[in-house]
Chains A and B, each alone.
Chain A
Amino acid sequence: MSEAVLASERRTTLVPERFLRLLPGIALLFALGLLGKLTEQVLRDYGKAHHLALPNIEYVLWAILFGLLIANTIGVPRIFKPGIATYEFWLKSGIVLLGARFLLGDVLKLGGVSLALVAIELVAAIAIMVVLGRAFRLKPKLTSLLAIGSSVCGVSAIIAGQGAIGADDDDATFAIAAILALGAFGLFAYPYLGHLLGLSDHAFGLWAGLAVDNTAEATAAGAIYSEAAGKIAVLTKTTRNATIGFVVLGFAIYWAARGQAQRVERKAAFLWQKFPKFVLGFLLVSTLATVGVFTSAELTSLGNLSRWAFLLTFAGVGLRTDLRELKRQGLRPFLVGAIAELTVTVVTLFLVLGADRLFTL
């Protein structure tokens, strides 16, 4: 057998088809992200050159807008879909690498404040959703899924919750569509409101991390406001994500007690299984940075790597938000979600303003 044939055989076995299928979508994420960065730069330079006071719009918003535009007009061709779905991988990698920009002491301090606020937010969000679900006569399990999604961390919490409480696929699809649509709306609304209220970067980051449901949208909302706000939003949201196991376990026990879901026998194993492990990666990188493993130039590089990962995430957020999906799902549960979100938004805003005074964030 000639070497060329051997080499080509090796290629087909070594480079799995699954990996190759990701490439077009990842290239599209890169292209949209870079286009966003380019647009930000061009507008800034144009404003400077012509002495115009153009609004400084972050690349984050451009990348998301371009993605939204493509997904909701011409649509995303099938060849790009597997690669676009990697946005969650980039999000998690970005968060782990962001650990390099945090000293462990700050993580623990901010994490402590966040955890206290998250606990209040969880109770408020679940209570509001349950009351509204009853008032609007939604199916009880759909209400549970919406409560899990709006209290903890959007899509992954809903998927974890669906299995644990034995809810229908339809309910999960709807809850996910509602959470994503509300997240997309929040992306634009929160930074606008934040500027209107004159929130500090810290206060805004805390608010976005507490109130925006999906991690990618919370990260983006923070980054649209400012880089410092983005960092705090990620940390707060990550703290909130870490509670996913407890909330899902609570709902699983509730439904099992009513004989409508499987009993959870090994609770500690359940909690560990649902725990978002990337949080551990974030803590590890933060610990390495704190003990001085990296030089300051290396820390800058790691921070930049994190930015690149987020760039791909933000392009993905726009591309996977299909506003037409919402129309197909009907209005009532969406309305419940929207009212609940609005209430959570106000409650968390007061929490953040209170914490801002108490802890001088």
Chain B
Amino acid sequence: MSSPSPTPGTNPAPEAPPRRPRLSLDFWAVLTSLALAALVWGGLVRRVPW
């Protein structure tokens, strides 16, 4: 979603709002892997074929 662009002259130095730090790819990769490992360990995924 794009915000309307400021009118020239009225808002010379708009400060960027503080952004929440995004969780890193590493975090998601580890979380997903551990969740999958838990599914296998808990017996919800019995056999992964290859």
A-side interface residues toward B, CB under 8 Å? 88-89, 92-93, 96-97, 100, 276-278, 280-281, 284-285, 288, 293-294, 297-298, 300-302, 304-305, 307-308
* Residue pair A305, B48 in contact (C-beta under 8 Å): yes
Closest to A289 in B: B37
Q: Which 6 A-B pairs have the closest CB atoms?
A: A281-B30, A92-B29, A96-B33, A277-B26, A304-B48, A301-B48
- Inter-chain contacts of A298 with B (CB < 8 A): 40-41
* Residue pair B40, A301 in contact (C-beta under 8 Å): yes
B-side interface residues toward A, CB under 8 Å? 24-30, 32-34, 36-37, 40-41, 45-50
Q: Given the known inter-chain contacts A89-B25, A97-B37, A304-B50, please indicate yes or no for A277 contacting B30, CB distance below 8 A.
A: yes
Cross-chain contact of A308 among B25, B37, B48 (Cβ < 8 A): B48
* Residue pair B45, A278 in contact (C-beta under 8 Å): no
Closest to B31 in A: A281
- Inter-chain contacts of A300 with B (CB < 8 A): 48
Instruction: Report the separation of the CA atoms of residues A267 and B40 in the bound assembly, to the nearest whole angstrom.
Output: 40
- Inter-chain contacts of B30 with A (CB < 8 A): 92, 96, 277-278, 280-281, 284
Distance from A29 Cβ to chain B, minimum over Cβ atoms (Å): 15
Distance from A13 Cβ to chain B, minimum over Cβ atoms (Å): 14
Using a Cβ cutoff of 8 Å, how many contacts connect chains A and B? Answer: 67
Closest to A96 in B: B33
Q: Given the known inter-chain contacts A97-B37, A285-B37, A302-B37, please indicate yes or no for A297 contacting B29, CB distance below 8 A.
A: no
- Inter-chain contacts of A293 with B (CB < 8 A): 41
Q: Given the known inter-chain contacts A297-B47, A301-B45, A304-B48, please indicate yes or no for A278 contacting B29, CB distance below 8 A.
A: yes
Instruction: Report the separation of the CA atoms of residues A302 and B32 in the bound assembly, to the nearest whole angstrom.
Output: 12
- Inter-chain contacts of A302 with B (CB < 8 A): 36-37, 40, 48
Distance from A305 Cβ to chain B, minimum over Cβ atoms (Å): 5
Cross-chain contact of A276 among B26, B33, B48, B50 (Cβ < 8 A): B26
Cross-chain contact of A285 among B25, B26, B33, B50 (Cβ < 8 A): B33
27 contacts between A and B (CB under 8 A): A88-B25, A92-B29, A93-B36, A96-B29, A96-B34, A97-B36, A100-B37, A277-B27, A277-B30, A278-B26, A278-B30, A281-B26, A281-B29, A281-B33, A281-B34, A284-B30, A284-B34, A285-B34, A293-B41, A294-B40, A301-B45, A301-B47, A301-B48, A302-B37, A302-B40, A304-B48, A308-B50
- Inter-chain contacts of B50 with A (CB < 8 A): 304, 307-308
Instruction: Report the separation of the CA atoms of residues A278 and B27 in the bound assembly, to the nearest whole angstrom.
Output: 7
Distance from B16 Cβ to chain A, minimum over Cβ atoms (Å): 17
- Inter-chain contacts of A288 with B (CB < 8 A): 37
Distance from A184 Cβ to chain B, minimum over Cβ atoms (Å): 22
Q: Given the known inter-chain contacts A97-B36, A304-B50, please indicate yes or no for A89 contacting B29, CB distance below 8 A.
A: yes
